Amino acid sequence: MMSARLLVGVGTSGLGFRASRDGFLRGCGAGCAGRRQQQRRASGAEAALKRTPLFDFHRQHGGKMVEFAGWAMPVQYKDSHIASHMHTREHCSIFDVSHMLQTKVHGRDRVKFMESLVVADIQELKDNQGTLSLFTTERGGIIDDLIVTKTDQGYLYVVSNAGCADKDSAHMKARLAEFKAAGFDVDLEFLDEALIALQGPSMSRVLQEGLKEDLSKLTFMTSALAAVFGVPGCRITRCGYTGEDGVEISVPQSRVVELTERLLGNSEVKLAGLGARDSLRLEAGLCLYGNDIDEITTPVEATLVWTIGKRRRQTKDFPGADIIVPQIKAKTARKRVGLVSTGPPVRQHTPILSSDGQVIGEVTSGCPSPCLKKNIAMGYVDAAFAKNGTNIQVEVRKKAVPATVSKMPFVPTNYYSG
């Protein structure tokens, strides 16, 4: 999706993974008894992980499986992370995002219910139009980012992060109980559908072959129900987490392998994993929940003011509004910015320094950019240093490295507007 849809960084952000059983065993040098014991531990750990309907499919296609937010997910396939990244920028790739939480909100008071939780103006959305929004706390922090679509089928379609699924569902259920006790008509339905993302400049040409509908009429952040390559009951939403033109397709679990195989039948399409997804989203300047935004960060600090509906700013009737709305005019002490540097890669938690060596902030995500051939990062700095073009430093391996505050996205986005 357009917003950050991962709980923790992967590979290129330097946060690391828990390896799959095969990778784990390759890395150990123990004797036979030690290997058997490690294999049992690794097998037990993997067995405890949740699996998407494409788990076996990933394995069959060379996917290197890792632990991610309690799920076994592919970090990459046979192609390198860089090759997969560039293929997505130049052609198109399939990402398995079935681990994400999909929810339908039913009932006459569904809009009122959702607006009691998020900062967006859901009421003003047209039928089948969606928007990025934020669950916020009463203190103004961000519980999660999500996409809310106002469908013409009598429900709201909500997609939120896998790593936040438990707290998001609990948050919505708690508010649901309050609404029902007050006599409002609203219900939640948590979906078991699979979800795949097809991202890249050739997406529309590839997907159009499997649609009766004219895909050119589906613009960025709009959604439609359709049969895709003969698979009925799919919801196609034109959005994504790469900065490229793309869609996310919610599909019945029993048909997702079939649909994925049909898409892969086109030579333009390859599978891509979490590693490429992370570097693609960082080039696009998209936030990663748990790194770049969290419950102690406000939307204003995160430069996400645009997610707050104008009407909502006036009514101040969303959680944390009394803290968040005044910050829009008064500004904040710190601000999320982009950074560009050369030399050694910049990773999460890297200190950001002023030109005279004073700590002025911290990197929240960083990686070498495959497209730009230089290091990119985002992080929070004291507001006085947030202007684009400001020369600063980052502390890498205890050495100060020159860096520059840069506008985001780092790579131009290609969202389809018609």
Q: Detail the residues annotated as belonging to a binding site for substrate.
A: 248
**Binding site listing:** 248
Tokens of 12: 């290129």
φ/ψ (deg, to 5) at 185: -100, 100
